[in-house]
Amino acid sequence: MPEVQRLIVLGAIVLFGSLALGAYQAPAPAVPKVLDIVKLKDNLYVITSSSPTPRELFSGGNVAVFITDAGVTLVDSKLAGWGQVLIDKVKSVTNKPVTTIINTHTHGDHTGNNDAFGKVDVVAHENTRANMAKMDAFKGKEPFLPGKIYKDKLTIGRGQDQIDLHYFGSAHTNGDTVVVFPALRVVHMGDMFAWKDGPLCDRNNGGSCVSYPKTLAGVMAGIKNVDIVIPGHSPMMTMKDVQGYQQFMTDLVAAAQAARGAGKTVDDAFAAFDIGKYAGYKNERVKAAMQAVFDEK
């Protein structure tokens, strides 16, 4: 068939196909909810944070599954609506019941299924408990708010099962917990270190971009002997990446403050910020973080 003729036939098929599809509006199929699990150690897994596009597939943050003699401790509980998938995924690696949930901070994509596991111990920083108590999602669900809170540091369990919760100050919110599994040399950073991009500084929940560099410096000074870092929403990282994030945030805040001091705009500050200096970084959220610095004064 000559080329022109072939294209016409192809075009007709495509056009007819489109018309046929247009005439019959099939209901959009429900997106199957699927979670992936990654093994870090014999008794530590991560149920990962799925891609946020399409939105229906966004399950919430990385959930650590720590299997101890006493039962399973989860760090965070993903977005509401993912409870059964989460339960099934935990069951795929252990028969032990979930006995404890640690919430790294208040956001719904980290606290959405606290009520899916029956009565468990819920643990969080005292400011996070206060923030969670204000959420509509917890109205009438008060038993699933943190029943155990702390101010600076809390240790749960001992020996192989020890978990240390640390608070280093305001960053993503005013209640960000860094969770350390000392026997395994692993840390869960929550959204204080969610990704290699500007952070969300949630000022409605006491977050502070201005405080970010100091808070991350506290993490670097206070947490040693760690090989694997579980970020809030990205694949696994190392403490070297946390160190890099501390430098990135130091530079971001300094650049925004300098621009503001010189009477420049956030757009000016963003345009002058060279993301290429930071290997593997995106700048999709840098401008918003700079705006938070401008707003914070």
Question: Strand 63-68 and strand 71-75: pairing?
Answer: antiparallel
Residue 191 binds to Zn ion (criterion: CB under 5 A): yes
Measured torsion, CA atoms of residues 104, 110, 111, 115, in degrees rounded to the nearest 10: -120
Residue 197 binding Zn ion, by CB under 5 A: no
**Per-residue contact string for residues 205-244; x = within reach of Zn ion by CB under 5 A:** ----------------------------------------
Nearer to Zn ion, 43 or 62 (CB): 62
Q: What CA–CA distance (Å, rounded) separates 133 from 121?
A: 16
SS3 sequence of 70-135: CEEEEECCCCCCCHHHHHHHHHCCCCCCEEEEECCCCCHHHHCCCCCCCCCEEEEEHHHHHHHHCC
Query: Residue 89 or residue 107: which is nearer to Zn ion going by CB?
Result: 107
- Residue 163 beta carbon to Zn ion: minimum distance, rounded to whole angstroms: 20
Tell me the window of 101-109, 179-187, 218-226, 245-253 that interacts with Zn ion (CB under 5 A): 101-109
Quick note: the x/- pattern for Zn ion over 42-61, rule CB under 5 A, is --------------------
| φ and ψ of 98, to 5 deg | -75, 125
Decide whether 150 or 193 has the Cβ nearer to Zn ion. 193
The C-alpha atoms of residue 165 and residue 151 are separated, in whole angstroms, by 10
Tokens representing 188 are 């869960």
Distance separating alpha carbons of residues 191 and 79, to the nearest angstrom = 14
* Shorter beta-carbon distance to Zn ion: residue 107 or 166: 107
Q: How far is the CB of 119 from Zn ion (least distance, A)?
A: 25
**Phi, psi (degrees; rounded to nearest 5) at 103:** -100, 120
Compute the least distance from the CB of residue 200 to Zn ion, in Å: 6
Looking at the Cβ atoms of 61 and 259, the one nearer to Zn ion is: 61
CB of 175 to Zn ion, least distance (A): 11
Applying CB under 5 A, the site for Zn ion has a residue count of 2
Separation between Cα atoms, residue 100 and residue 46, nearest integer Å: 16
Among 107, 125, 233, 260, binds Zn ion (CB under 5 A): 107
- Measure the CA–CA gap between 153 and 136, rounded to whole angstroms: 28
The least distance separating Zn ion from the CB of residue 172, rounded to whole angstroms, comes to: 6
Q: How far apart are CA 274 and CA 224, in angstroms?
A: 31
For Zn ion, which is the closer residue by CB, 108 or 147?
108
Nearer to Zn ion, 191 or 241 (CB): 191
**Pairwise CA distance, residues 150 & 174, whole Å:** 13
Instruction: Give the interface segment with Zn ion, choosing from 9-17, 155-163, 189-197, 284-292 (CB under 5 A).
Output: 189-197
Q: What is the DSSP letter of 225?
A: S
Q: Does 78 bind Zn ion (CB under 5 A)?
A: no
Residue with tokens 């971001």: 252
Q: Which is nearer to Zn ion, 107 or 196 (CB)?
A: 107
Question: By the criterion CB under 5 A, which residues form the site for Zn ion?
Answer: 107, 191
